[in-house]
Structure 1
Amino acid sequence: MAKFCKICKCNSRLICMCLLPCMMTGHLVVYITVTIFVTISYAPPKITVHYVASGVSANSSEMASHPLSPFWNLRLVDSALWNRLQHAWDREHNPILRGNTTGLTRKPKNELLSEIEKECISDCMSQKCSVPLMKEYKNFPDQIKAFVWSMHCRDYQLLVNQPDMCRSNTSDSGFESPMLLMAIKSQVGNFENRQAIRETWGRSGLVKGQSKKKGGLVRTVFLLGRQDSSTGPHPDLRNLLELENQKYGDILQWDFRDTFFNLTLKDLLFWDWLQEYCPAAMFVFKGDDDVFVRTGALLDYLHKQLEEHNQREINTNKTDINLFVGDVITNAMPNREPSTKYFIPARFYKGVYPPYAGGGGVVYSVSLALRLKKVSERVRLFPIDDVYLGMCMRRLGLTPSHHPGFLTFDLPETDRGKPCAYKSVLLVHRRSPKQMLTLWKKLQYLPGKC
């Protein structure tokens, strides 16, 4: 009997040793099967439908593919002019590629220019620009040709200035500098728009917040170029503009053609003006002259941002406010529809746009504006001003903040006539001068009604 038990024990061990590999193999087969099943049945999360830059609706067949690569690409895209020019600058400003120049005599600026850039050099002051020696140029549409012709020009004469705009005034309740500087992009002929803004949301002076507890000193300037003679004969409005400026003293005008693709110049030249004449202001609203802004509500929002910043400053010792807020658009690709004014051909620019705040209006701190001014010296001019600001922000390593109160694409049509629909709105686009005046009256006592 004992011998039989020993035999059984030996057989059991043998059986276990034989079955163990089989069991392990079985578990492995089950694991692999389950893994394959899960992988096949897995549905990836839906990517938010991307945005094609202004001019094409979301349902258009012209939509580009979803961008899969980052905006700032250090690799050369030699088939697009802007990318080539920017790549040359990236290499020039890269300390690793430049090497250590300490103690060495720097080359004259013209010797540092790339061959591509040399092709684009011209006399900006006389506005006699040489045609770039590139085969792509003749195939560009006219508005891109005009932009390329002078895209390296950044210095333009200030024709109308307001050097005292931000100086302290005892009549403004002791405020020494503006809480908010309104910089409105306008054109010479848009008299009605400017006047409607002066009478409503863009009034200069002490403005109460929507909460009635706090307010701030607001100053408004209108940013203009000169009339674009290339679009046809225009009445000479210089005398009218001079009279307007004599009465209101809020016009800034530079000596460049006021075209859609030159709007980027207004940002650059305004930053120059801001640094020289109004650096003590706290915030800037930059917008178009066909938007409506709830200025009191915007001041409330800015006071809240200041309080939060001051609280963070106690813990972080960071004094600069990196505020840049608006209707942020992400995953945008250039508009390739030739019939729209936003058309950007692939021969000029390739790639995805960085996150940017859509046109109509944005708010940023003056401290950030001065940093944007500096970094813009390393970013090639781009014909769409909103996108260019996004490029400069990305170059700083920052991203604009989205605020649902910036309705650059307007309210639903059924809500536009309802005052309470504007309760959480900071900006709405677009409104005619008559609509601004009407809406301003309707919203005067909004908090008590809604």
Structure 2
Amino acid sequence: MARCRCSGRALCLCLLPFLMMSHLLVYIMVSIFVAMSYTPEPQLPRHYVAPGVSSNSGALAPHPLATFWNLRLVEGALWNRLQHLQDREHNPILKGNSTGDRGPSTDPNYMHETEADGSTPCSPDHLWASQLPDFNTMPEQMQDFVLSMHCRHYSLLIDQPGLCAEQDAETETLMLLMAIKSQVGHFENRQAIRETWGRSGLVKEEAGGKRWQVRTIFLLGRQDGTTGPHPDLVALLKLESDHHKDILQWDFRDTFFNLTLKDLLFWDWLSMHCPHAHFVFKGDDDVFVRTGALLDYLNEHKAPSQGENNRSKGKEDFLVGDVITNAWPSRQANTKYYIPESFYKGVYPAYAGGGGVVYSGALALRLQVVSRWVSLFPIDDVYLGMCLHRLGISPLHHPGFLTFDLPEAEREKPCAYRRVLLVHKRSPKEMLTLWKELKAPLPEC
């Protein structure tokens, strides 16, 4: 056998292969030990039931596939970009949920942003228009909305600060405040409502027989075009307001895409002058409401007053109507509800049809707060759904809210209204006739 003669520096070269083999052997042994002792974590199933959460339907909750708060802007339309900034700034996870404010706003910069003479410091602004490549081809109502969508504060032309204070001594608080969206020239609609389903005062339930305090207020903007074919109705409106004391009017153009302003400004007014109302009805002046039946229904959902125990959080967040889900914006440029894709992308949140909706007074105060963080949107009922979405509240659907009317063959039959709470549309004459028919005992149906 040949003998390896290593001396000095050559000795390291002779021993190097043995050192490398020993390190490899140690690595293999450690790997085998770790593999034998490792127990893999159990994989979550595709669906699971979250601990402590019950499901009435028995369905398993879907396993979240992404983070609950998405910091990445998915859509690039103007409204989406503006709202993305708002959502990041007011992220309730990072900043704490401050939308539970139950009282009027105390932010001096939020309310009453007017000049010294009482006028509104708001004029068309082309900043956002420059962000829309197709702005010049949009319909006029969309262009007008974009130019003024930064404006939220308008002065009151007609106010009723004492409306909720004028209550009958028999009742402690206002059960139902009916806020009706109207226009200056709709004198007949308002008078028909006053004489039928919108009477202010003590109103009797239809089935229960108890009387509740109800107040009605009409929400108006400014009537433009007071020359030519449009008569000047300012004097007539003042006479009506002086007589009935149920008109609220703000100094903005009363257009379809400005109906959202009536929500915002009404919530501000409510928080200051009528914060203790149990419920609020918001609807159009061409709907018919079975007020007595609505009071029956609301009495079942009335949360205890502040002095009572067991105040229900669910009843505070109560909102009911004809709920529409998975609706997409109309892309037909010649339709009333047209929303360009450059302005908004995505599906609408669940919302209640704007013909008529009822929500708790406590929720109205929360909407007043959270609406500061939701960019204006030109369709009022969709905007309400956007505010609810950011409060984490789902609207409740009720089949008695017929915002798309009864089948034509049923409209003249009183029996068809037995389960109806609201129906749309009805003319002033139809309101008076239907009210008279429904006040009489219904025949066998």
Name the aligned partner's letter for residue 354 of structure 2: G
Q: Which residue of 2 aligns with 1:80?
A: 77
Contact 1:287 1:361 in 2 (8 A): yes
User: 1:156 pairs with 150, 154, 158, which one?
Assistant: 154
State the partner residue of 2:139.
Answer: 141
Select 2:268's aligned residue among 267, 272, 278.
Answer: 272
- How much has 1:211 moved relative to structure 2? 1.2
Percent of aligned pairs with the same amino acid: 66
Unmatched tracts of structure 2, length 5 or more: 1-65, 97-118
**Residue matched to 1:367:** 362
Task: Give, in whole Å, the separation in 2 of the partners of 1:72 and 1:263.
Answer: 30
Which residue of 2 is the match for residue 104 of structure 1? none
Task: Measure the CA separation in 2 of the matches of 1:178 and 1:251.
Answer: 18
Aligned partner of 2:246 among 250, 259, 269: 250
Q: Give 2:183's aligned residue.
A: 187
- Label 1:348 to 1:285 Cα distance change in 2 as closer, same or farther (>3 A): same
Q: Is the 8 A contact 1:375 1:396 kept in 2?
A: yes
How many residues align? The count is 354
Q: CA deviation at 1:280?
A: 1.3
Alpha-carbon deviation of 1:141?
2.4
Deviation at 1:143, TM superposition (A): 1.3
Instruction: Quickly say closer, same or farther: Cα 1:249–1:256, change in 2 above 3 A.
Output: same
- Contact residue 302 and residue 315 of structure 2 kept, 8 A: no
Question: Offset of 1:398 from its aligned partner?
Answer: 0.6
Partner of 1:290 in structure 2?
286
Q: 1:72 to 1:391 in 2, by over 3 A?
A: farther
What's the offset of the Cα at 1:321? 1.6
Greater gyration radius: 2
Q: Note the C-alpha offset of 1:376.
A: 0.7
**SS at 1:217 equivalent:** strand
Query: Helix, strand or coil: the match of 1:149?
Result: helix
What are the within-5 Å matches in structure 2 for residues 205-284 of structure 1?
Answer: 205-229=201-225, 234-284=230-280
Match 2:433 to one of 431, 438, 449: 438
Whole-Å Cα distance in 2 between the matches of residues 96 and 322 of structure 1? 20
Q: Does 1:305 align with 2:335?
A: no
Distance 2:379 2:155 in 1: 22
Aligned residue type for 1:361: G
Seen in structure 2, the aligned counterparts of structure 1 residues 394 and 78 have a Cα distance that, compared at 3 Å, is closer
User: What corresponds to 2:90 in structure 1?
Assistant: 93
Cα gap change, 1:182 to 1:357, in 2 (>3 Å): same
How has the CA–CA distance of structure 1 residues 413 and 204 changed in structure 2, closer, same or farther, with 3 Å as cutoff?
A: same
Q: Spell out the pairing of 1:58-69 with structure 2 (5 A cutoff).
A: none
8 Å CA contact 1:183–1:286 kept in 2: the answer is yes
1:401 maps onto 2:399 in alignment? no
Tell me if the contact between 1:167 and 1:176 (Cα under 8 Å) persists in the aligned partners: no
Shift in CA distance, 90/231, structure 1 to aligned 2, threshold 3 Å:
farther
Asked if structure 1 preserves the Cα contact closer than 8 Å seen for 2:288 and 2:422, the reply is yes
Counterpart of 1:424 (choices 389, 406, 419) is 419
**Letter of the structure 2 residue corresponding to residue 145 of structure 1:** Q
Counterpart Cα distance in 1 of 2:301 and 2:93 = 38
Q: How does 1:372-391 map to 2 (within 5 A)?
A: 372-391=367-386
**CA distance, structure 1, for counterparts of residue 365 and residue 201 of structure 2:** 24
Residues 18-68 of structure 1 deviation map (CA, whole Å, 9 limit, x = unaligned): xxxxxxxxxxxxxxxxxxxxxxxxxxxxxxxxxxxxxxxxxxxxxxxxxxx
Superposition deviation, residue 318 in structure 1: 4.0
2:354 partner SS: coil
Q: CA deviation at 1:158?
A: 0.7
C-alpha separation in 2, matches of 1:148 and 1:291: 29
Secondary structure of 1:187's match? Answer: coil
Deviation at 1:145, TM superposition (A): 1.1
Residue identity in the other structure for 2:164? C
- Quickly say closer, same or farther: Cα 1:230–1:314, change in 2 above 3 A: same
- Which sections of structure 1, spanning at least 5 residues, go unmatched? 1-68, 100-122
Asked if the contact 2:414–2:442 (Cα under 8 Å) also holds between the matched residues in 1, the reply is: no
CA RMSD of aligned residues (A): 2.7
State the Cα distance separating 1:317 from its structure 2 match: 6.2
1:88 Cα deviation from its structure 2 partner: 1.5
SS of 1:360 mapped into structure 2: strand
1:96 is displaced (CA, Å) by 7.2
TM-aligned CA deviation for residue 305 of structure 1: 1.2
Whether contact under 8 Å (2:278, 2:302) holds in the other structure is no
Shift of residue 314 of structure 1?
6.2
TM-score between the two structures when normalised by the length of structure 1: 0.73
